[in-house]
Each structure stands twice: as structure tokens, then as C-alpha cells.
Amino acid sequence: MQIVVKVSGQEPPLLPGTPSEEAAALARAAGTTLAPQHPGTPDAELALWYVAVLADPAAAERLASALRDAAGVEAAYVKPGAEPA
């Protein structure tokens, strides 16, 4: 399951547009990392988006919920799976 995260860009303790240490620590504790969704983009808005991957759907939901409460995170959700046409 893919967890999609938007950081605020307002309060990150690292570089602008990077996940807060709290968000990064939550991802590590869940056994994953936050990686840029659009690596190397020059677009400031796209640079705010990160992804994490977890195989267990329940664990992914728990991480997304915890990330929504983390400093510097504007949004976090589990990307829905593809549905047959």
C-alpha cells in the first residue's frame, strides 16, 4: 500500500519541503521511509509530496493516521488500489 504525504513547507526543521523529523521518525518506526514522490522536480508545489510503502493495509492506515497528526504534515492518506474497469 502506498501512503501519500504532503508536507507543509512552513515548519520543517530540515530543508524547505522536507518531512519533519517527527514524520520521518514515524515512518522509520513503521518500517519504511518517506521518499519524494517527484524526485528532482524544480516545481516547489510538487516537491512537497512524499510517499511511503507498506505491504500491510492496516499498518498503512495506522501510519497515515499518525502522519496526519505530525508536525509539518498537511495531508496523509493511503492511495486506493486500482479498480477493474
Name residue 73's beta-bridge partners: 7
pLDDT classification of 73: cutoffs 50, 70, 90: very high
Distance CA 13, CA 4 (A): 20
pLDDT at 11: 47
Query: Taking residues 42-70, what's their average pLDDT?
Result: 94
pLDDT at 30: 97
Residue 9 phi, psi dihedral angles, 5° rounding: 75, -5
4-34 pLDDT, tens per residue?
A: 999 986 544 445 557 888 999 999 999 999 9
The half-sphere exposure of 69 on its side-chain side, counting CA atoms within 13 A, is: 6
